[in-house]
Amino acid sequence: MHEKDIHEKNLESYRNGTPHNTAKSGDIARIVLMPGDPLRAKRIADTMLDNVFQFNAVRNMFGYTGEYEGCRISVMGSGMGAPSMGIYSYELFAFYDVQAIIRIGTCGGLAPEVEVGDLVIAMTASTDSNYAHQYRLHGSFSPCASFDLLEKAVASARARGLQFHVGNVFSSDLFSLYSALPPDEGWKRWARMGCKATDMECFALYCNAAWANRKALTLLTCSDSNISRKEMTPEARQNSLDSMIRIALDVAKQESAAE
């Protein structure tokens, strides 16, 4: 069966929900914020959005739709790693007509200038994952952010006076602290190539956006530094990322107004 036929068959089958998402057609806004942690999605919905309703709780991957300063926005967890982000973002793009996804998460700093608490805006993503092998490309694919979303995020960060960095991030299948590779063979080589930070989801999101011809952006707060070894507490990771989230909401509001 041709891939287009498979997509059309799935689209019809999943009109009233997928195996991972109980949302019905129209429940999800065209712009979605995606933290890795579903509890962070719940906190955003509870404290930053108005007129909120929950559209998903399958596998505790909470999803909500509400309004931010009059603009309809959804927020949903992605889980950890490329496979989880790959599933949820693919479904949002393919079956729910989502036009833009903004990942909001944490990262490990790989550059000495990236300090704990700083914002990293991912211009592009490198990886050790084979996620892009599915496209059967005769070479290496370098997915990047949607420039207009990136431009809006930079403007918002500047207006808010935040310390931020724009550049390449390294999306790994391995949580860097648990890697069997010694640093000289692992993250230090990616840092040597100019990667600002490491996460686990950005590459898959940017690939899915490229495949679907949709928009994507990744905003990351540095929660720990591979250079200084400083780190945030688990509580701070969940609750103290408001500046980054406000930038994502600024971008989402502008993108919604432009549609």
- CB contact at 8 A, 106 and 241: yes
Q: Are strands 119-127 and 71-76 parallel, antiparallel or unpaired?
A: unpaired
Does residue 3 surpass a pLDDT of 70?
Answer: no
Give how far Cα 167 sits from Cα of 9, 129, 149, Å.
39, 19, 14
Q: Which of 155, 150, 160, 154 is nearest to 242 (CA)?
A: 160
Domains within the chain, CATH numbers bracketed? 3-258 (3.40.50.1580)
Does residue 5 surpass a pLDDT of 70?
Answer: no
Does residue 144 surpass a pLDDT of 80?
Answer: yes
pLDDT of residue 233: 82
Q: At what angle do helices 82-95 and 202-212 cross, to 10 degrees?
A: 30
Strands (E), 110-163: 119-127
- Mapped onto helix, strand or coil, the DSSP state of residue 209 is helix
- CB contact at 8 A, 112 and 43: no
Q: State the Cα angle at 70 between 65 and 75, rounded to 5°.
A: 25
pLDDT tens by residue, 168-197: 999 999 987 778 888 778 899 999 999 999
Q: So which residues are the catalytic ones?
A: 224
* Confidence (pTM): 0.94
pLDDT tens by residue, 20-46: 999 999 999 999 999 999 999 999 999
Highest-confidence segment of 13-27, 133-147, 230-244: 133-147
Strands (E), the chain: 31-35, 50-56, 63-68, 71-76, 100-109, 119-127, 164-171, 197-199, 215-225
The C-alpha atoms of residue 195 and residue 203 are separated, in whole angstroms, by 13
Token look-up 């600024």 returns 250
